[in-house]
Amino acid sequence: MEKRRLGKSGLMVNPVGLGCMGFTHAYGAPVEHTAAARTIREAIDSGYDFIDTAECYIGTNPDGSTAWNETIVGEAVKGIRDRVIIATKCGVHHNPDTTLRLDSRPETIRTSVEGSLKRLGIDCIDLYYQHRVDPNVDPETVAGTMADLIAEGKIRFWGISEVGEEYLRRANAVCPVTAIQQRYSMMARWHEAILPVCDELDIAFVAHSPMANGFLTGTYKPGMTYREAGDYRAAMPQYSPEGYEKAKALLDLLSAMVIDKGATMSQLSLAWLLAQSPRVIPIPGSRRIERLRENFAAAEISFTADELARIRTLLEGADFAVFGGHAQAK
């Protein structure tokens, strides 16, 4: 398995990273702390070496306490810190109605980084993202703050999530950006135009929600509902009769390729992303270790040029605009 480089940092990671959000946030009640940490540790033992979390990936435990995703990740990497690259994020807070409150003021970033270091139980964060662009703070100000944190040894490198070209260029001119993290899947391709910019500036493209929040696993069927409190899928447009019908041709194609390629739909979805650019590093997540191992093995799957062209033709003719709304905010 050939590793991929995290932009100009020189850090090398396996092609598929581990997104940890789902253990505590957006998919129903949090997984019990010890069990979640054990699953992450088993995933690392299976080959994952790029671990993604965020300060806002929180939930509420049965006893009313806060389930901190970063704390679980910190527990999982105890004693094996040198085996993993840890990424976390600042600047976003989730409101009760699932909207986002953005705050990237320097003082807020500094408070956040101290909290993340404490919860993770580490002395330096490998990759620290601005989780969303704050319209009230200039990119130069954010980049300057990140440069200071790098000089102080609190973070090694920094990145930006859900960023446009102009903001990225302005921030990168002040403090070189190592990675951007964008929503990217077969059903969410609106960020592809920034890939050439990543090539030019030597920046990694980390793909979050690479299976459209689980939709491309093929497990969803019309009529299924997600009613557990805190499960954001209930409001996601792909998990609706209309969304299913719009995606049915893609699901049918992937289902047929499962037989031809000897792979699962999840693996095909991830392998397709990996085939788009050597800069792309998807970070799927799951609460189940067997699914995490399955996802990791996607790096061993390849497509012929004809297969990629066939998929691209279908995607170019599809109408997935319904999947671009706030309901998919991460």
Q: Do residues 17 and 50 lie in contact, with contact meaning Cβ atoms separated by under 8 Å?
A: yes
Catalytic site includes residue 57? yes
Structure tokens belonging to residue 8: 């100009």
The strands making up 50-52's β-sheet, listed across from edge to edge, are: 18-19, 50-52, 85-90, 125-130, 155-161, 179-183, 204-208, 280-282
Report the helix count and the strand count for the chain, using DSSP H and E. Answer: 10, 14
Beta bridge partners of 57: none
Q: Do residues 242 and 222 lie in contact, with contact meaning Cβ atoms separated by under 8 Å?
A: no
Instruction: Spell out the residues 6+ positions from residue 57 whose beta carbon is closer than 8 angstroms to its own.
Output: 20, 21, 23, 24, 25, 69, 70
- As a whole number of angstroms, the distance between CA 113 and CA 128 comes to 8
Q: Do residues 157 and 128 lie in contact, with contact meaning Cβ atoms separated by under 8 Å?
A: yes
Q: Do residues 279 and 241 lie in contact, with contact meaning Cβ atoms separated by under 8 Å?
A: no
- As a whole number of angstroms, the distance between CA 104 and CA 131 comes to 9
Most distant CA pair in the chain, distance: 54
Q: Which of 57, 128, 167, 220 is catalytic?
A: 57
Q: Which residues are catalytic?
A: 57
